Chain A
Amino acid sequence: MERKVIDAQDVVVKFAGDSGDGMQLTGTMFADASALFGNEISTFPDYPAEIRPPQGLVSAVSGFQVHVGHKKIKTPGDLADVLVAMNPAALFVNAKCVKVGGSIILDSDTFDLPAIQKAGFKTEDPIAELKLEDYNIIWAPITSLTKESLKDSGMDLKSIIRCKNIFTLGMCYFMFNRPLNFTEDYLRKKFAKKTELIEPNIKVLNDGYNYAANTHAIGNTYNIAPANLEKGTYRSINGNQATAWGLIAASEKSGRPLFVGSYPITPATVILEELALRKNLGVKSMQCEDEISGICTSIGAAYAGNLAVTTTSGPGLSLKSEALGLACITELPLVIVDVQRGGPSTGIPTKTEQTDLAQALYGRNGECPIMVIAARTPSDCFRAAYTAAKFALEHMMPVIFLSEGYLGNGSEPWRIPKMSEFPSINPPIAEKGEEKFKPFVRDPKTFVRKWAIPGTEGLEHRVGGLEKTPEGAVSADPENHALMVANRQAKIDALAEFIPELELFGENEGDILLVGWGGTYGHLFAAVQRLLGEGIKVGLAHFDYINPLPKNSAEIFKRFKKILVCELNSGQFADYLRAKHPQYTYNQLNKIQGQPFMVHEIVSAVKELL
């Protein structure tokens, strides 16, 4: 067979296997090696909630999709060019995720009859049953080759078999012309404390590479040239790490020590883990006894003068709602990060959604307005977290940052910024004074109160959940309550003067305006690019600021004949826009499958609406 090297602009590779097969690690190593090679990348881990579900079942299949490109990559890709399926169940689940005629690498050792039946196939021939005859099926005896490769390694058989993902990775490196050195360096670091594992892992990686090169199992190979990125130093970062780092950056910039009180919850846990690691930068991280303690310790820390943060996902935000009211009425700076997942209740905890928007906007007793912001991409979580902290500290209020499982777990290359590029953060700290401190006397324009930090002489005062007068006395006076409710709302409304205006991508006016918020940005952007290429007059208005809305929102809406609000819920942002700007008609594109949009779904929806 003649082997060709295909120069590709971009390829999508999906690794799929049992939960214990190490697919997340394999995908991450492939993505990192590609990023270090200089490609654009975008990743999408998709895994079950169970840690080690029964092997061989479709419910145990764990997947990791990587999009690698020579040009700007905005999404992890719709369908895969290449699927690696480590067992029949992985093929059963993922065959539909491969482009027609694409390549599928299969471990032939795992395709025995019992495994095929266990995966749910009705016949003995999975390829025929899934109608994959026109696909490029690459059968490789991966398990037995791994055993052969490591037979002299001194490792036990179980450990040897666990290395089959590295063998497979080696095959993929040949197929996509990736250099091995980045991963070899990674393995040396990973096993620095178990040095006996370094050589076997490097050997099996190379054996996988050589197997693919020497046999003709793999036909064509792909060459994806490094991307033409903006000059600078880059690193790969995922959304949860970027969130943690954005918060630390805000702490450094503001001079306020960072306190985080959180309870582990998927998919937000990594933020707490990352912050716990950063004691070298003075982070006080506390793993609390529950979600309520997470927010209440943070409110206590905010009262005592720290930059306070609590991180969670939807069910945790529900538990925190009463305390959010406390943060609102005491007007203390607090950042709440909600990495959204599929709900209601426990729902589908490892899958992504945008279904907590209504909860973030309204989910509290009393009238309790809170600033809500979002992030576009994994690395944009750094900006969003920094911004949330800046607004919380400077405007003395809680801020909810709505992240998403898709953003938190996804990663991309990131041009490393310098701290000097970020705006300063100046909290309104009260100075020692002669006069009695009046906690709820405010700036007439911004409605911001001062922050009197315990330990400061002469500023002793009380705050709390009971309604207070501006002077800080408990009061149930009707007029006072009306005034305080109005002031708290006015403070949120006044933020519109401080947030950036909404920007438009694509046509300045035209037929259809796509409206989105949060992690759907990449897919919406790619869809708009494609539609513009086809001569369709579309624009994209993507919201980073949700409460309050940018003040030019309506002005942008009116320039298009139709508006299509795209979100991963049943229409929560659309409903919010209907309440805020009722003069427009909002068409909807919604998806609630625990999965991100696909670009082609958006493109079709726009064409249907034309």
Chain B
Amino acid sequence: MATYTQQDFKSDQVVKWCPGCGDHAILAAVLRAMPEICEKQNIKREQFVFVSGIGCSSRFPYYVNTYGFHGIHGRAGALATGVKVANPNLSVWQMTGDGDALAIGGNHFIHEIRRNVDVNIILFNNKIYGLTKGQYSPTSKFGMVTKTSPYGSVEQPFTPGDIVLGARGSFFARGLDVEMALNQEIIVRAAMHSGCSVMEMLVNCMIFNNGAHAEISDRQFRADRTIILRDGEPMIFGKERNMGIILDSLKLKVVRIGENGITEKDLLVHNSKEDNYGIHSMLVNMKGPDFPVALGVIRDVEEKSYDQNVAEQIEQVKENSKIHSMDELLNSGATWEVK
């Protein structure tokens, strides 16, 4: 078994993202994760295929030294599905953005998740169209001023995790460009998940939406405004590690540990393996100022993948069929002889 270093996954192409772009951090995390994934899954570099659509993040395949397919706008999900169904032994990675996956490619995105195709999707969410130079996206905030919303956007944004859960997704995680170690951890977890894994990576766009996620990514507030979810651990956050989340009646609530008799034991304990969508949906939707934004693997439920089902059904039908070749098919059914 070959052992790799991250250097083995670096391509010879010059990375052309703007200096300071959040995409650099995700590339770094992917390159670091690759050797670990190869080891854990016993796979080789030539088994990786990186597929993308169009947008800044979709240039990603050029920057990894694996098989790669830079597709057309919005269609990465369909291309990736085709690759995976054609050869389930490949490890297929889909690089997409908030415009690519949620606007022009929305239909493919939801159906890829619904089918549970074993593809690892990294959705770079910078809440802006960067490559076309600054138009609002489906995740831009209401009121955001951009070149196509000069008086402020009058559209409500999507929460990508909501779409993933709504399409009955089996894996959803959220990362943040500045959380390098966490991102790497998420990427390895996604690779290990059999089924469609969606990783929303919150990334900054220095040029057209600088500070896209500043309210949670700034060092001074990050600990107070985000919570990293880990299985089996109580939901604690804050610089002082004294804040927590409880379930109060049917809603989540932020509490201060030690106040009103609250102890760690009262806090929710994260379980990404919980089949019920309810709690995961609440976690996905936590937003400031009342709640910290949830990071980490929120949902990771095992369910047989589409590509596995396709392959198994073919094997079953083959076993039960009397027809095993084209000549046999041609001569099956009603035929007659002319002498």
Contacts and interface: CB of A to CB of B under 8 A. Distances in A.
A297 B13 CA distance: 27
Interface residues on A, range: 35 or more
Contacts of B318: 279-280, 282
Given A38-B336, A306-B86, 15 more contacts: A186-B334, A234-B338, A235-B336, A248-B326, A282-B314, A292-B75, A296-B72, A300-B51, A300-B80, A454-B46, A455-B46, A462-B69, A464-B69, A465-B54, A474-B62
Q: Which 8 A-B pairs have the closest CB atoms?
A: A300-B82, A464-B70, A296-B78, A280-B321, A297-B82, A304-B86, A301-B86, A462-B68
A286 B29 CA distance: 34
A231 interface: yes
B15 to A, nearest CB: 12
Contacts of B277: none
Interface of A: 32, 35-36, 38, 182, 186, 229-236, 245, 248-249, 252, 257, 259, 261, 278-284, 286, 288-290, 292-293, 296-306, 308, 322-323, 325-326, 330, 415-419, 454-466, 473-474
B82 A455 contact: no
A374 to B, nearest CB: 23
A285 to B, nearest CB: 9
A457 B44 contact: yes
B62 A301 contact: no
Interface in B74-122: 75, 77-87, 89-90, 107-108, 111
Interface in B295-339: 310, 313-314, 317-318, 320-321, 323-327, 329-331, 333-339
Nearest to B311: A284
Nearest to B9: A460
Contacts of A288: 78, 111
A290 B107 contact: yes
Given A261-B82, A464-B69, A454 B61 contact: no
B205 to A, nearest CB: 21
B71 interface: yes
The winner among B61, B69, B324, B325 for most chain A CB atoms within 10 A is: B69
A418 B330 CA distance: 8
B90 A304 contact: yes
B82 A279 contact: no
Contact of A326 (B72, B80, B330): B72
Contacts of B66: 460
29 contacts: A32-B334, A36-B334, A186-B334, A232-B338, A233-B338, A234-B338, A235-B336, A248-B326, A261-B78, A279-B314, A280-B324, A284-B85, A286-B310, A289-B107, A297-B82, A301-B85, A303-B69, A303-B83, A306-B87, A415-B338, A416-B331, A419-B325, A454-B47, A454-B87, A455-B46, A459-B46, A462-B11, A462-B67, A463-B68
Contacts of A417: 330
Contact of A279 (B44, B83, B111, B313): B313
A226 to B, nearest CB: 8
A183 B110 CA distance: 47
Given A297-B81, A462-B61, A229 B338 contact: yes
Given A233-B331, A458-B46, A304 B87 contact: yes
Contact of B81 (A233, A283, A300, A456): A300
B86 A259 contact: yes
Interface in B244-281: none
Contact of A473 (B13, B78, B85, B333): B13
A129 B317 CA distance: 58
Contacts of A249: 326
A300 B324 contact: no
Contact of A289 (B90, B108, B310, B314): B108
Nearest to A329: B72
A296 B68 contact: no
Given A282-B318, A288-B78, A293 B46 contact: no
User: Main secondary structure on chain A at its contact with chain B?
Assistant: mixed
A454 B82 contact: no
B337 A233 contact: yes
A463 B69 contact: yes
Nearest to A300: B82
Contacts of A460: 45-46, 65-68
Contacts of B323: 280-281
A304 B107 contact: no
The winner among B68, B79, B80, B321 for most chain A CB atoms within 10 A is: B79
A297 B310 CA distance: 14
Contacts of A235: 330-331, 333-336
A458 B68 CA distance: 13
Contacts of B144: none
A284 B310 contact: yes
Nearest to A232: B338
A5 B72 CA distance: 66
Contacts of A418: 327
Contacts of B313: 279
A300 B72 contact: no
A322 B74 CA distance: 11
A301 B83 contact: yes
A249 B107 CA distance: 33
A316 B317 CA distance: 30
B83 A281 contact: no
Contacts of A305: 86-87
Contacts of B11: 462
A297 B79 contact: yes
B186 interface: no
Nearest to A285: B310
Nearest to A461: B67
B30 interface: no
A277 to B, nearest CB: 9
B49 interface: yes
Given A281-B325, A454-B83, A461 B68 contact: yes
